[in-house]
Amino acid sequence: MACYVLVHGAWGGSYGFRLVRRLLQADGHEVFTSALTGIGERSHLTGPHVDLSLHVLDVVNVVRYEDLDDVVLLGYSYGGMVVTGALEHIGDRVRELVYLDAFVPADGDSIASLSGQPPAGPVAQIGAPWLVPAEPREFDDPATGAWSNLRRTAQPVGTFTEPVRLPVPLEEQPFGRTYIRATADPGGPFEIPARHARESPAWRYHEIATNHMVPENRPAELTALLGALA
């Protein structure tokens, strides 16, 4: 059996992994779905102080306080920035690093730099000039979309502009590396890291034929891929 730490993406929450978490647990695995401060279930803790470093600590502290080791650490979308930043602190506890349709930054990269432009402008309202609004996403099942889109929240802009720290490049670290690409959303910022993983012997590469909202669109298929890493 394996230990999984699953890190959600921007404007979302750990609830997005609820189906995957249940399936992995049913197979006997230990699963933690870290909730990032200021968004999703922890949106009540939002503020201009919330940045990438704080989200990194959200994940690092789950691993440290639960005393987890030999971890399969997954970053989904923006979560790729978070798990990358966490390596400086808990890299020795990671067995496999998984990027799920995610950013794969090098040292000094940010969402803004990898996207080639600043994130969408902050919310134009008094008291919240530091929030970037969430836009609704499309899901394979409209009912799932209606449920999930209600839970998407604005996100502090510092999480998009702060550079990640990665003193040791990914491919020089001893753990395994896996990239999972959502093929129904070609192009965009995930195409470059996906192509690199597909062509590099240092990576495992898989595809899932759905759009970017993989955990809620294809929970069973994602669970099967993750289970194979055990």
As beta bridge partners, residue 155 has 132
Candidate list 43, 77, 110, 148, residue with the active-site label: 77
Locate 32 and state its tokens. 């933690």
Question: Is 115 marked active-site?
Answer: no
d(CA 37, CA 24): 24
The set of catalytic residues is 77
